[in-house]
A and B are shown apart, each in its own frame.
Chain A
Amino acid sequence: STDRNEEDAYLDIVFLNKDLDYLKKIQRLNPEFDPHNKFVNYRYNTIHYMSGVCRSLALKSLTLHRAVNYLDRLMGSDDFPTSLHRLAASACVLVAAKFEEHPSKVPRVDQVMEMITGIGSKDQLLAAEKLLLQKLNWNASCATHLHFSHCFMHHGVSHHCDTRHGRPL
């Protein structure tokens, strides 16, 4: 039975790796942390702000994590004026929601605008969205920590024999 358990454990790892393979591929798009980037000093507050926006709009955690990934990809390459950080962050939330949420749950631009009163105009928000998409080179795929966590959590509570729609969980 010890052999059997070892075999089971091995299979669990094999299946986990298989599931993680494509996440690892996508993960290559993630930016490397650069401690010299000026944005690092503002990152904590900006993410805190994004978290509040996502909570107010009742968006999924995955949307927030995706938005943070976009923000890092955007800020990693450019030196944005501090005054535009929140506007850029809002554009990241908007794009992430469009990609991640059910179409009926995607916030309208007006709703996002209510969150950013005093920070920018609707024109600026849509211009920031366009800039973001161009900076991402139209590849909004990303693998965040939460994507990996979900994968591990499912493996934590399921066996390699467990299937859903014929596929290992």
Chain B
Amino acid sequence: MVVKCESRVSGKVMVVKRIKKMPSVSGDASDEDEAGADQGFPVRYLREACLLRACNHPNVMKLEFVTYHEGQIELFSEFVGLNVEDYISSLSDEYFTRNKQKHEWVLQLGRYFMKQVLKGIDYCHSIGILLRDVKPRNFLISSDGTLKLTGFVLARFSLLPEEPLTQQVVTLSYRAPEIILGGTYPVYTAPVDIWSAGCTFAEMITGRTLFEGDSEIGQLLKIFKLLGTPSDCNKSFCFEVPSYIELLPQWQPQSLSERLEGLCDEGVDLLSRMLLYHPCSRITARDALKHPYFQGDHSLMKT
């Protein structure tokens, strides 16, 4: 449960994420719930709290403090505002229709937001944090237009040497193919966040989820239909390609510029680099920030 609150001492407005009351350590099994299950501080919230505490960047939401008493955990963070997903949903179709002035504004907004998305991701990657849940819902918009990254429940420190990680990460629509195809313990690193950021970018421009599969295989089909069935060379992006891949139709890559109507060539180029199958070839957040798409003055015009 997440609620807005105001400090009686400082008057500061914050949001508090309250995690279900944990059972008393001597409680019976029926008391076990998501948060406690009698295992002390839950792993996922431990990582969320500790990783957020380790961050200090304008594009990452600040965790003010944590309370943990009588089995209840409360994470107090700065109050930011609406998330990007809800903001996109609140815009009318006119904003996403080509040749309308409002669409032009959305294209500018997409660039303005995307730069901040990449700055937040780049910061996290630079301090060794793998986010594993980048999506529009996890970016909050402050009153001054600053985007702040949140949603660290699935994040973790990722250091060398790489090791197999869990497959159950990243909301399906934003999940990179190397995770879906990587088996039970896929090996993946920072490029999975870039793939998710690419999907987020497309969603900000079109107002629709780029790949919306209802299952893992459905998700792959959506990806392959747009980006083409991976060639033999591209299949090396994961260690063990499942045999069913051979049975899929051989789709040719579709034009991203048609799918993202109105987006300039630089924007399409950046997105295509973020959505490369092979993680080795996928652009890094730092390089993406140097991409021509972000060069020059791109301040937002008023509507």
Contact = CB atoms under 8 A, between A and B. Distances in A.
A154 B160 contact: yes
B284 interface: yes
Interface string A12-39: 0000000101110110000000000000
Contacts of A99: 46-47, 50, 157
Contacts, number: 98
B46 A94 contact: no
A150 interface: yes
A166 B50 contact: no
B2 interface: no
Contact of A163 (B26, B127, B280): B280
A109 B40 contact: yes
Contact of A167 (B50, B163, B189): B189
A165 B191 contact: yes
B254 interface: no
A6 B180 CA distance: 43
A25 B189 CA distance: 21
Nearest to B284: A166
A47 interface: no
Q: Interface majority SS on B: helix, strand, loop or mixed? A: loop
Contact of B68 (A26, A106, A130): A130
A123 B26 contact: yes
A26 to B, nearest CB: 8
Nearest to B178: A165
Contact of B38 (A19, A109, A139, A163): A109
Interface string A107-130: 011000000000000110110011
B50 A140 contact: yes
Interface residues of A, number: 40
Given A99-B50, A140-B46, A167-B190, A126 B25 contact: yes
Contacts of B185: 102
A164 B162 contact: yes
Contacts of A94: 40
B294 interface: no
B21 to A, nearest CB: 15
Interface residues of B, number: 40
Contacts of A44: none
Contacts of B65: 138
A3 B38 CA distance: 62
Contacts of A100: 157
A81 interface: no
Given A141-B157, A165-B279, A103 B43 contact: yes
Contacts of A23: 128
A169 interface: yes
A130 B126 CA distance: 29
A32 to B, nearest CB: 20
Interface in B134-175: 157, 159-166
24 contacts: A22-B128, A26-B54, A94-B40, A98-B40, A98-B46, A98-B47, A99-B50, A102-B166, A109-B39, A125-B40, A126-B40, A129-B41, A130-B68, A133-B66, A134-B68, A138-B49, A138-B50, A138-B66, A139-B50, A150-B160, A150-B161, A154-B160, A166-B279, A169-B160
Interface of B: 25-26, 38-41, 43, 46-47, 49-51, 53-54, 63, 65-66, 68, 126-128, 157, 159-166, 185, 189-191, 279-284
Query: 6 closest A-B pairs (Cβ-Cβ)?
Result: A140-B50, A165-B279, A141-B54, A139-B53, A98-B43, A22-B127
Given A140-B46, A141-B50, A167-B284, 15 more contacts: A100-B157, A102-B164, A102-B165, A106-B43, A108-B39, A123-B26, A126-B25, A133-B41, A133-B46, A139-B53, A150-B160, A151-B160, A166-B282, A167-B189, A167-B190
